[in-house]
A and B are shown apart, each in its own frame.
Chain A
Amino acid sequence: MKPRFDLLPPLAMAVAAVGVALAFIAPPDRVQGNLQKLMYVHVPAAWIAYLAFVLTLIGSIGWLWRREPRWDRLAAAAAEVGVFFTGLAIALGAIWGKPVWGVWWTWDARLVTTALLFFVYLGYLALRRVTEDRSDRARRSAVFGVVAFIQVPVVHFSVIWWRTLHQPPTVLRPGDPTIDHTMLAVLLVNLVGFTLLGAWMLRQRFRLLAQLEDLEDALAARDLELAGHSIETPKLEGRRSDV
């Protein structure tokens, strides 16, 4: 059975809308009040960023193994989605941090490693942008896509490896999650909704990259035709060209 990708946008919008609505209804945190509700977007954003960077790694390895353009497109599209959601997670964390911690930014291991992750993948996108030849671009970015992934587990385990202000894992941890179960249910709905949104964005970027490659090919073909014409003898208007 062929996957129904046309259902992805309405499904993603619907689940994300339900998730955001549930976030408003969910009970506020006893200490932080309604500020805690930023978590319902902050956590899914960070989750999609991780997932996207895993896809960049898979795309990079896939390209190095199979040398097929679709793997390179997957890696590039996923990196763009990952950078967007990493930026969103950082911005939402800062908005939450100002009233709760008293500062927009603190030199916490999780925050610093996430910022580094953001810059590492910005470097990945910059590397793609400055490399013109498609095969060369795919090769260079595939190698960097593998090297850059080292940063992802460092970000995830930073709250375990170092003493940090950021809370340790509450859901992705061995044993029972250390979060109220109503809050956890709302968080899971948002995780599904935002994952679907991320998948939709990924698909759109993937298709756009394929169309850009088609456009590049068409322009290259046009240039070839022009080069072929240029070898004909130039004809000046009003002059005989047969002598």
Chain B
Amino acid sequence: MREQWRTCAAIAGNSLRLERRAGEALLVVAPFGAVALLLIPMAVGTDVPLLRRLGPGMYWTVLLLFGVLVILRQSSLQSPAQARLLALAGVPGAIAMLGNAVATAVLLVAFGAVLAPVVIMLYDPGMQGWPWFLTVLPGVAIGLALLGVVADSLVRWLDARSTLGPLLIVPLAIPLLLGATQSWQAAAFGASPLPWLLLIVTVDLILFLAVLLAGHLLDVVT
């Protein structure tokens, strides 16, 4: 068991090292997301009270939609030969998927951390209950990463991967988006965001089980 977790950590480390060299998530996707946050007020109007209300929702929507680009970069990093090599080395599909999910979750947390000051500066949202954000962001990132690796395995090496992947991920990510936006709202109105955090954790656990199941069933694909 310990050996498998070491393998998982090695795969995650390898993926993060590749990202450090390429800088795709933080040097390309993050500025793209920041541009989207800059464009939205031009489309809906630059009314400050309106933007204060929209800010948190826009932040999580951009994180979800642009996070899909971060998630789907996995399949462009790994070639069929590399996947076969991992399979021949006896690495179970679920462990490889979990390794990739860990790397993607770390990148999504970093992506969210880069976007947070942008949304604070442009939208000036209320900062009540900001400590909750420190727990909600990793929860959402883990959920998106787990959902992403399942979807990524389903569309791996298909020609339409970049268009089909978002269609599979986004509708199933709605509970995470709801949990994130509602926890912010609950904190803003003085209620406890704990039930929404529990929703995110429950979704994360279900997706963790889905990765274990899909990893076993999709082993032949990868």
Contacts and interface: CB of A to CB of B under 8 A. Distances in A.
Interface string A118-135: 011011001100110000
Interface residues of A, number: 22
Nearest to A148: B172
A150 B207 CA distance: 11
Contact of A136 (B172, B174, B221): B221
B167 A130 contact: no
Nearest to B160: A130
Interface in A106-151: 112, 116, 119-120, 122-123, 126-127, 130-131, 136, 139-140, 142-144, 146-148, 150-151
A201 interface: no
Contacts of B220: 139
B180 interface: no
Contacts of B168: 123, 127, 144
Contacts of A136: 221
B49 interface: no
B221 A130 contact: no
Contacts of A123: 164, 167-168, 171
Given A139-B220, A147-B214, A130 B159 contact: yes
Interface string B79-100: 0000000000000000000000
B218 interface: yes
B218 A126 contact: no
Interface stretch (B2-10, B33-41, B150-158): B150-158
B217 interface: yes
B58 interface: no
A139 B218 CA distance: 7
Given A139-B221, A147-B210, A116 B155 contact: no
Contacts of B154: 127, 140, 143-144
A183 interface: no
A87 to B, nearest CB: 15
A13 interface: no
Interface in A68-127: 112, 116, 119-120, 122-123, 126-127
Interface string B126-160: 00000000000000000000000010001100111
Interface in A172-208: none
A123 B147 CA distance: 14
Interface in B189-222: 206, 210, 213-214, 217-218, 220-221
A64 interface: yes
Given A136-B221, A139-B217, A139-B218, A126 B150 contact: no
B76 to A, nearest CB: 17
Contacts of B164: 123, 126-127, 130
Contact of A64 (B159, B167, B172, B217): B217
Given A139-B220, A147-B214, A150-B206, 9 more contacts: A64-B217, A120-B172, A122-B167, A123-B168, A127-B164, A130-B155, A142-B217, A147-B172, A151-B172
28 contacts: A64-B217, A112-B174, A116-B174, A119-B167, A120-B171, A120-B172, A122-B167, A123-B164, A123-B168, A123-B171, A130-B164, A131-B158, A139-B217, A139-B218, A139-B220, A140-B154, A140-B155, A143-B214, A143-B218, A144-B154, A144-B168, A146-B213, A147-B150, A147-B210, A148-B172, A150-B172, A151-B171, A151-B172
Interface of B: 150, 154-155, 158-160, 164, 167-168, 171-172, 174, 206, 210, 213-214, 217-218, 220-221
List the 6 closest pairs (A to B, CB-CB), nearest first: A130-B160, A123-B167, A119-B171, A123-B168, A116-B171, A120-B171
